[in-house]
Structure 1
Amino acid sequence: MGLPSPLLAQTGADVSTGASGPAHVGQDGAGAQDPAAQEPIISDEEFDSSIPPIDADPDAPMGSVADWEAQARAAEPLGEPPAIDPEIDRPLTPLQAFDVEAFDESRYTEADDGGSAEVRYGYRLEGLDNLSGEDEVAPVGASDVKALFRSLSALEEGKGKAANGAMINARLQSDQTLLADILSGQGFFDATVQGSLELPEQAADGAQQGEIAVLLQATPGPRYRLGAIRFDAPPVTPPDLIEKAFAPKSGEPIVADRILGAEANIAVKLPENGYPFVEVGERDILLDAATRTGDYTLPVTPGPRSRFGDIVISGDKAVFEPDHIATIARFEKGEPYDSRKVDDLRRALVATGLFSTVAIAPQQTGIASGDDTQYANLVVNQEAGPPRTLAGQAGYATGQGIKLEGSWTHRNLFPPEGALIGSATLGTQEQGLGGTFRRSNAGRRDRTVELSLSANHSDFDAYEAYTGRLAGRISYDSTPIWQKRFTYSYGFELIGTNEQDYDFASGERRRRTFSLIALPGQVTFDTSNSLLDPTKGFRLTAKLSPEASLGSGAQAYARTLLEGTGYYSVSDGIVLAGRARVGMIGGADRAQIAPSRRFYAGGGGSVRGFGFQELGPKDPDNNPIGGRSLVEAAAEVRYRFGNYGVVGFVDGGQVYTESLPRFTDWRFGVGIGGRFYTNFGPMRLDVATPIDRRPGESRISVYISIGQAF
């Protein structure tokens, strides 16, 4: 129940509903008696005869006061002026002569530490306990009215203190009107509210005790209900479109919030169903005091039924031409107009990050489009924003060290939406430079084409690698604007890498150079309710990358990774989350696969409690060597309170040298994490420890990054 709107009959004391006839409640909320029900007191002829004639010469002199007095004496029947009351000429009594006791506020005031006095008061509401507002559709009780009153009351806001009595009286007058408005907004149009002040009792020594009592006595009266409901509108398609959009029904209480909400819904539903130029007029409610009902009439001008026409651009700094905007839109010319699709287009344009302002408005054309409809053009007013951005992020993980990543992006260097991205990585164990060309919305909404070139150096316990990579990818992605059930990507990778790892044949670490060709692909089915912080639903992802290692001892193999995550909301603040992952490499021995292309487990995005890539088979120096299969699982309990959260988790997994996982020898880690939720996703700090810790493994592992673990 919200604040009653002045658009309905708000002032219950001002709405006239007498037995002699009905009252109208219109846009101003005032009631008025039906003029036809009132008879004139005197006739027009009698009124005209009582008016003295006007002097024939309007320019004649007005005369003096003496002339007027002479005329008055001549008009007297006896020729003498009437006697004048002698009290009129008697001088006024001086104020000092009155014996009146001065108003003494100090009797019921208290001084604060600064010595200034404040008047103390308390207030109470009476007459609401028997409020006859029980109703299945719009019930209202004394507690509802009092709660709303307290949230808006001037007396309540004053917290029982005022500078003087006049201020208390002003608050009383304001709250008297407020309470009447609240009651009339709930259909109690005959409600009256009387306000009074009660001074505290005076003690024997003349001192005042207690505080001023402010009383608001309400008399709600009967509750009015909707009678006939009528819409003054031409026929629309479908015929009941307006009626269905208006939720209140005959017999329901006349509640301001429901009436206003229903009228707003008409202004929303008609543009969603082909009427972008609808206009909702001023309502009229005819109240009948005898039946306690109000007949409701609303004028609606739907405008022409329309279909999508052309896209027209405006603005001094246009970013996109109409054809690219049409590519982003989820509708075609000639489709029935739907304002939801227009809103979707505006959000998609905003999501490109290329606009400082963008607005879309329909425009009538008067051009027929068949089936008794007209084309409605869309005028896209766009102003370009800064096209370049700098971004950065930092993270830390045990075994991976500190890593800083930064990027520079020019999002529209090659219009439309052809971006050039430069990136750099600086960390204790990773360094790299890269450049990427990316075209967003490439021939289709949310389809992305990328081409990237990068050079990186990695120095981990498992291997050290100097890698150059040329890659291309086409993807159809989810976005925060529209999260899709089904997404995919496919592309290619050309990799040249020089890597050092342990050679069991020679018993020492060795360097080898690999030339690789890969064709990675991925499909995802997603029913979760959020990309960044899901609380319900699940995701299934499958990755397949056929690869070939060229040069001496050429090998062909395939990397496969299957992953599923699920989320279940126990309550508003508690979410259960789980993850399972299985990976396999078939077609080549482990030693013939470049170390950087093998499977590893351990770390913040894998099995927490262990260092990066720490799980799995080891060399004689106790360094990981990677494997051809892995299994991982994780379970979390996430508790959020406000912008903060706590997470308890258990992770488990293992890496195997065989191409098929054995699901044995699992290692587990447990831990707790903290979350700080921002508008771009949660900041994550996790602390974990391994169960049954072995020599060389850390007691505590720490992970800091952006986003949930999964």
Structure 2
Amino acid sequence: MRANRLTTAMGFLAALALSAAAAPAFDRLDFAVGGDDARVAAALESASLLATQQGDPDTDPRDVLAAARADYGRLLNALYSEGHYGGVIHILVDGQEAAGISPFAAPARIGRVQVNVTPGPKFRFDKAEILPLAPGTSPATDFRSGAIARSTAIQGAVSTAVEDWRDAGRAKAAVTSQSITADHRDATLDAQVGLTPGPIVRFGNLVQLTPSAVRAERIARIAGLRTGLIFSPARLALVAERLRRTGAFSSVSLTEAEVLGPGNRMDIALSVADEKPRRFGFGVELQSLDGLAVSGYWLHRNLLGGAERLRIDAEISGIDGTLPGMDATLAARLDIPAAFGTDTDAFVTLDAEYTDDPAFRLYQGGGSFGVHRRFSARLDGELGLAYHYAIYRDDLGTRRFSLVSAPGTLTWDGRNSQLDPSTGLYLNADLEPFHDISSGITGARAWLDGRAYYGLAEDRFVFAGRVLVGSVIGADATAVPPDYLFFSGGGGTVRGFPYQSLGIDIGGGDTIGGRAFLGASGELRYRVSDTIGLVGFADIGTLGAASFLDGGGGTQIGAGVGLRYYTGLGPIRLDVALPVSGPGADGAQLYLGIGQSF
């Protein structure tokens, strides 16, 4: 019995010791700010190190004292940023001013910390001048006589004025004089800043400082920094972006030379770090009717030493435990950056495909080559020449096509995110003229995908809309490859209906695709928390036998709700959709994937 009591007592004492070890370094923090300006109070608390340490069991009393001493300067800067230049700050550690406590005499335990701030009057600008300004520019609206004299307004106005000169080609623009005087009698501030724009600067040489597995001449060609051009920060940022988007580098750094060379030319130092050359990835998507889809890829970022990128993709879909309905694709693509000059890349592709869709079965192989042009940060296009030999089995029988085509794509991407956009526009237009060598048939396939996003309440609510338009021109539907035609139903068109459940009835129970399609989708996305979101959506699709709205195929309408789980890789999507009206309904449909539906 005595041993049990001793064990119990020792356990109790150990628990007390652990509790004491985990206790905060100080018991209480009182933060008092004079006046009734909530913005000032919030700025002060955000700047305070003591506020961040409150309740932290890992903080030592010496850290608390150091934070208290540092808070004098931090709180003073916070007052300046709100336009208060006559404030009084007291920080008391157990009743003693923190500034008077020796850093070598920190107490073993701190009970109460008091922060008392009297902001004093709010100052306004009397004089607010930055001279000279770049032609066609003006100072910021918050840096003017009569405005609240926030220190951040001065800093922002000076930074903007310098950048305006740099945008005008004056790379060495700098502040050369400044006079800032506070008049406490009438709570005004005079701020006068003098700039020296310096000469017009032109780009010199791109000097590579670090070694790379990518050849130096290829790096220079991809970067596209032309010697002799007038300096521009935007052009310098574009050079870095060109190198980054090759995927061959994990980091890219450009540094301006401090001293100008002959003719006011400025060399640019380049430092790069190579990305790991190889990478692989995989994806999984589940739909209740179509089954499981598994995909993977292998990527080589610097195949031949010129930042060439080889990517091999493989996918098996329609996995539901049976062989019928399963699809398989294997594709390889080689991209050669700056093959025809900066921003104009070349590509070569090879692909093989087996597709067992509800409307047809396809065996296909071929390849293509072409160019990819980036016109701006938002706009890019692609034009190629392709050949594919394909065998189709559908309700029209077994047919063979020997197709030569010239696929072209133009894409405008103004979204703020690809996986989870909340603002911006996206437009993708495809046009593919084709000629079947075996039959002599010539035609073209056109496709337009437009999307818009609008966020409210700091993007907690997002309205998302999508419009799809497709058309086959110049060839009869019975002479066109089945996968060039359009069907409705499934995750890409109208959710709530099985994939390709709506086609064109040609009699005798036979169905083919239509030559025209119109579709639209709308979603309301609500982010409940940082990790959970809810979605309500509705889709509509109309199929035309030969032209839009000719009534040859009918219309499907579906609607449903979804759940989103947000991760660092993008949201995981779970949607449940029901058919509202239209042919081809087969009960509720389930969709699971990564990223928003569009």
Which range, TM-score by smaller chain? 0.7 to 0.9
Which moved further from structure 2: 663-672 or 679-688? Answer: 679-688
Counterpart Cα distance in 1 of 2:304 and 2:332: 15
Counterpart Cα distance in 2 of 1:328 and 1:401: 45
Q: Does 1:473 align with 2:363?
A: no
2:335 pairs with one of 429, 438, 451: 438
Residue identity in the other structure for 1:274: G
Which moved further from structure 2: 117-126 or 586-595? Answer: 117-126
Counterpart Cα distance in 2 of 1:240 and 1:566: 34
SS at match of 1:441: coil
Hey, which of these two has a bigger chunk of strand by percent?
A: 2
Matching of residues 417-432 of structure 1 within 5 Å:
417-427=307-317, 428=319, 429-432=326-329
Q: Does 1:566 align with 2:452?
A: yes
Per the alignment, residue 209 of structure 2 pairs with 314
Identify if the C-alpha distance between structure 1 residues 709 and 378 changes in structure 2 by more than 3 Å, giving closer, same or farther: same
Identify if the C-alpha distance between structure 1 residues 318 and 305 changes in structure 2 by more than 3 Å, giving closer, same or farther: farther
Per the alignment, residue 488 of structure 1 pairs with 381
Task: State the Cα distance separating 1:671 from its structure 2 match.
Answer: 1.4
In 2, are the aligned partners of 1:466 and 1:498 still within 8 Å (CA)?
yes
Q: Does 1:705 align with 2:593?
A: yes
In 2, are the aligned partners of 1:519 and 1:546 still within 8 Å (CA)?
yes
Residue identity in the other structure for 1:462: A
Sequence identity (%): 27
Per the alignment, residue 357 of structure 1 pairs with 251
Per the alignment, residue 689 of structure 1 pairs with 578
In 2, are the aligned partners of 1:313 and 1:322 still within 8 Å (CA)?
no
SS at match of 1:674: strand
CA RMSD of aligned residues (A): 4.3
Task: State the Cα distance separating 1:526 from its structure 2 match.
Answer: 5.8
Task: State the Cα distance separating 1:197 from its structure 2 match.
Answer: 9.6
Counterpart Cα distance in 2 of 1:672 and 1:649: 6
Per the alignment, residue 655 of structure 1 pairs with 543
SS at match of 2:395: strand
Q: Does 1:146 align with 2:59?
A: no
Matching of residues 265-414 of structure 1 within 5 Å:
265-266=160-161, 268-280=163-175, 285-287=180-182, 293=188, 295-296=190-191, 304-317=199-212, 319-321=214-216, 325=220, 327-329=222-224, 332-363=226-257, 366-369=260-263, 374-414=264-304
Counterpart Cα distance in 2 of 1:679 and 1:493: 37
Residue identity in the other structure for 1:598: L
Give the number of aligned pairs: 555
Q: Does 1:125 align with 2:15?
A: no
In 2, are the aligned partners of 1:483 and 1:531 still within 8 Å (CA)?
no
Counterpart Cα distance in 1 of 2:91 and 2:259: 58
Task: State the Cα distance separating 1:672 from its structure 2 match.
Answer: 1.7
Identify if the C-alpha distance between structure 1 residues 554 and 361 changes in structure 2 by more than 3 Å, giving closer, same or farther: same
Residue identity in the other structure for 1:616: G
Per the alignment, residue 192 of structure 1 pairs with 88
Identify if the C-alpha distance between structure 1 residues 312 and 577 changes in structure 2 by more than 3 Å, giving closer, same or farther: same
SS at match of 1:412: coil
Task: State the Cα distance separating 1:360 from its structure 2 match.
Answer: 0.9
Counterpart Cα distance in 1 of 2:203 and 2:386: 43
Per the alignment, residue 498 of structure 2 pairs with 611
Residue identity in the other structure for 2:50: A
Normalising by structure 1, report the TM-score. 0.66
Q: State the Cα deviation string for residues 575-600 of structure 1 (Å, max 9, x = none).
A: 33333333333444433333333322
Q: Does 1:669 align with 2:564?
A: no
SS at match of 1:353: coil
SS at match of 2:235: helix
In 1, are the aligned partners of 2:203 and 2:265 still within 8 Å (CA)?
yes
Matching of residues 194-209 of structure 1 within 5 Å:
none
Task: State the Cα distance separating 1:498 from its structure 2 match.
Answer: 1.9
Task: State the Cα distance separating 1:292 from its structure 2 match.
Answer: 5.2
Q: State the Cα deviation string for residues 231-266 of structure 1 (Å, max 9, x = none).
A: 7xxx9784797x847963455554333333344445
Task: State the Cα distance separating 1:345 from its structure 2 match.
Answer: 1.8
SS at match of 1:248: coil
Counterpart Cα distance in 2 of 1:293 and 1:184: 13
Residue identity in the other structure for 1:451: V
Counterpart Cα distance in 1 of 2:164 and 2:527: 36
Identify if the C-alpha distance between structure 1 residues 559 and 196 changes in structure 2 by more than 3 Å, giving closer, same or farther: closer
In 1, are the aligned partners of 2:289 and 2:498 still within 8 Å (CA)?
yes
SS at match of 1:147: helix
In 1, are the aligned partners of 2:534 and 2:563 still within 8 Å (CA)?
yes
Task: State the Cα distance separating 1:172 from its structure 2 match.
Answer: 8.0
Matching of residues 234-273 of structure 1 within 5 Å:
238=134, 244=139, 248-250=143-145, 252=147, 254-266=149-161, 268-273=163-168
Task: State the Cα distance separating 1:521 from its structure 2 match.
Answer: 2.6
Residue identity in the other structure for 1:668: I
Residue identity in the other structure for 1:363: A
Per the alignment, residue 512 of structure 2 pairs with 625
Task: State the Cα distance separating 1:678 from its structure 2 match.
Answer: 4.9
In 1, are the aligned partners of 2:128 and 2:191 still within 8 Å (CA)?
yes
In 1, are the aligned partners of 2:472 and 2:484 still within 8 Å (CA)?
no
SS at match of 2:409: strand
